[in-house]
Amino acid sequence: MTTSAPVRHPGEEVLLGFTRAVRAAGVAVTMDRAQGYLEAVALLDAGDPEGVRRAGHATLCGGPADLDRHDQVFDTWFDPRGELPRSRPREERPAPRLTEVPETDGDGGGDEMTDDVIRARASEAEVLRHRDVATLEPSEKARLEAMFATLRCRVPRRRTARHRAWHRGEVDAPATLRASLRRMGEPSEISWRRRGTKPRRVVLLLDVSGSMSGYADALLRVAHRFVSACPAGASYGVEVFTVGTRLTRVTRALAHADPERALVAAGESVPDWSGGTRLGESLQAFTDRWGAAGLARGAVVVIASDGWERGDVDLLAGQVARLQRLAHRVVWVNPHRGKAGYEPVQRGVQAVLPHVDDFLAGHSLATYAELVEVVARA
Amino acid sequence: MQVAPSPSSTVPTPSDAARGVESVEDLTARLAATGYVGDDSLATTVWLALRMGRPLLLEGEPGTGKTSLAEAIATSLELPIVRLQCYEGIDATQALYDWDFPRQILHLRALEAAGGASAEEAEQGLYDERFLLARPVLAALQQAPAVLLVDEVDRADDEFEAFLLEVLSTYQVTIPELGTVTAAVPPVVVLTSNRTRDLHDALKRRCLYHWIDHPGLEREVQIVRSRAPEVAEALARQVVVAVQRLRDGAGLLKPPGVAETLDWARALQMLGTTDLDLESAARTVGALVKYREDADRVRTALDRMLAA
């Protein structure tokens, strides 16, 4: 390609091809956006690279993250020497797969026999609920994964400043007056109102560092249950981030209805899977970029981590304290907490405990059900 | 706006509101004349929005001059500005129009007292334009050409976004009792957002997007000189250098925006400071940062900076 003579394409084709490349890079470019782009480039001078770049910023992008992606594609698309950004080589993780529940018993036997089998399986499921997810055999893991569907996630609600019409409560003076004015000032029925409620936002921050690798998969499944609990496109809702050496937003990836595909998508978008832990810095990045802007304000923030902090413990404590001031409730989930003989001796855990509203275990399905309940009642 | 089958071959007709703005350079000069100092990429986007007749969506940190850009556009085009401040729970009666019920009642009582009009005439007289309270969107359509500033659209609810979408695509408002109000000239629409939540993609797609970043050193000095001309050049430069370092390196909870830089420079000037020193900085730090923890950090950072 680089040695052959450059092929001349008509301008429109090059630009439309570029919009496709930008879309492939993850920017939501639609037909009308592409059309707007052509229009904008025609208005500016197509020969001026800076102008073409700005036209792309204005018409194709919809957020600061889009701007970076656009520029990356722009540099390579309009520079024949460059190469298109390759997707990062991903280490092969076996895709989690659902397997059939193994038959524990052959056929045959009367009613009494099947009854026994069912009961035995039920209690087996109960045992599995309390097993540590990091120590499960692959077959048990597959069964447990299916059981995550039983988690009924509910989003907590908060009071709003807006009132709703109600048949009791306080007198809705404006509505009553307006109704009576509509009747030419004659007194009419009295309207009543009460404060409305709104779903409270839930923010999940999941530690995916090496020390949490046994639990990251299960935690993402819990997160997926939370994300699928709220309707698509709602302005409130659930936000999920992974923290490790850096902060990654995986809400979009987890929006897929099928848990397996959602988890694969989330795994692809997390660059620091099983890496080190710089919890304090990641939390700071979260609060700076998202939390203080309003994402964490009044929200229920769940941090799932074992508290093995390699960075500055004071920074971690300061950031959690800051989160607690912003958020409605900060819940810390520690997979080791539910184990026998656990003491919160890690420096990270000790530093954050004073700033945490709830300190929960998080190693088995039963503890995740408890977490769901705590969040729903927050 | 017309739909052109092959947009790159047909140059769209310029929006009437933008008539007179010949080029990006012209627009930059006009904005500069109002005291708004922006970079070329911002001017390009604004110019495109004017020419393509599209709304302009501005996002950025608080205090980077999103609202003042809309004001500068209005001043430079010599158009009136109509501002719609969004908040949670805003609905169509607060954005579009409402009927002035008390005046309608008064009108009827007056007719009653005069005893002249027939029932039909009285009824027709009620839904007259003089009893219509034009809220910002309708006002902008009526006053067109005008600049409609929809401020902090991220604070409004989803339903309101859908409603905005409708108005922004047709630039008309239907009042059942009166008929449809269409803008003679589509207004120049500027939406601002602080990104407290993601806006719907449908709304974003209609708009041209621009992310306003904190300005660089030279540009911020220019902004201070242009917005607060009473501040001496040397002091302005010292203030901006300090603010830029604080923004990048001091780990503040809320890094100061340009608005805070201006406040601080003015505060220092009012105290008669000619040279930024620790004592005057400590006395005026409240203009710059609004958290107790930040104030402490600024003091220690300035201590190091001024000692060096």
Report pLDDT digits (tens) over A101-153: 444 444 444 455 555 555 555 677 778 888 888 888 888 888 888 888 888 88
Please give the structure tokens belonging to residue B301.
């950072």
Q: Is the pLDDT of residue B102 over 90?
A: no
pLDDT digits (tens, 9 = 90+) for A152-200: 888 888 888 888 888 888 888 888 988 888 887 788 888 999 888 888 8
Does residue B117 have a pLDDT over 80? no
What is the Cα–Cα distance from B174 to B162, expressed in whole angstroms?
16
What mean pLDDT comes out for the span B267-277?
87
**Pairs of CB atoms within 8 A across A/B:** 108
Q: Tokens 């959690």 correspond to what residue?
A: A320
Chain A interface, mutation test: which of B50, B197, B199, B293, most A Cβ atoms within 10 Å? B197
Put simply, whether B297 touches A (Cβ < 8 Å) is no
pLDDT at B277: 84
Instruction: Tell me whether residues B88 and A178 touch, CB distance under 8 A.
Output: no
pLDDT tens-digit profile of B67-83? 989 999 999 988 999 99
What 3-state class would DSSP assign to B122?
Answer: helix
Average pLDDT in the B156-182 region? 85
CB nearest to B89's CB, from A161, A185, A322:
A161
The span from the CA of B208 to the CA of B189, in Å, is 10
Minimal-distance CA residue of chain B relative to A237: B197
- On whether any CB of chain A is under 8 Å from the CB of B114, the answer is no
Distance from CA of B229 to the nearest CA of A (A): 31
Would you state the pLDDT for residue B15? 53
Instruction: Write the Ramachandran bin of A295: left for phi over 0, alpha for psi from -120 to 50, otherwise beta.
Output: alpha
Question: A278-300 burial string, b = 16+ CB within 10 Å, else e?
Answer: bbbbbbbbbbbebbbbbbbeebb
Q: What is the pLDDT of residues B197-215, one digit of tens each?
A: 778 888 888 899 999 988 8
Q: What is the DSSP letter of A355?
A: G
How far apart CA B135 and CA B153 sit, in angstroms, is: 16
Give the bridge partners for B58, in sequence order.
B192, B210
Confidence (pLDDT) at A235: 54
For chain B, the domains span 3-95+133-212, 217-307
Asked if pLDDT for residue A84 goes beyond 60, the answer is no
pLDDT of residue A2: 42
Q: What pLDDT shows up at residue A81?
A: 58
Q: Residue B157 — very low, low, confident or very high, per pLDDT cuts 50/70/90? A: confident
Interface test with B, best of A19, A27, A37, A43 (most B CBs within 10 A): A43
A88, pLDDT greater than 50: no
Contacts of B91 in chain A (CB under 8 A): none
Whether the complex's predicted ipTM surpasses the cut of 0.90: no
d(CA A55, CA A39): 9
pLDDT at position B17: 56
The Cβ of residue B243 has, within 10 Å, a number of other Cβ atoms equal to 24
Homologous superfamily of the B3-95+133-212 domain (CATH): P-loop containing nucleotide triphosphate hydrolases (3.40.50.300)
Going by pLDDT thresholds of 50, 70 and 90, the confidence category of residue A234 is low
pTM above 0.90, yes or no: no
- Does the beta-carbon distance from B88 to A161 stay under 8 Å? yes
Q: Does A52 touch chain B (CB under 8 A)?
A: no
Phi, psi of B108 (to 5 degrees): -65, -45
A189 burial (CB, 10 Å; 0-12 / 13-18 / 19+) is exposed
- Mean per-residue pLDDT of chain B: 84
Does pLDDT of A43 surpass 70? yes
Tell me the residue type at A5: A
The β-bridge relationship of strands A300-304 and A247-249 is: unpaired
- A225 has a pLDDT exceeding 80: yes
Q: Tell me if chain A has a CB within 8 Å of the CB of B277.
A: no
Q: What is the pLDDT of residue A85?
A: 46
Strand partners, B132: B99
Task: Quickly list H helices, chain A.
Answer: 11-24, 31-43, 49-60, 64-77, 111-130, 138-147, 173-182, 213-229, 251-254, 259-269, 279-286, 313-326, 347-352, 365-377
More confident residue, A180 or A4: A180
Interface-testing mutation among A52, A54, A176, with chain B (most B C-beta atoms within 10 A):
A54
pLDDT value for A100: 45
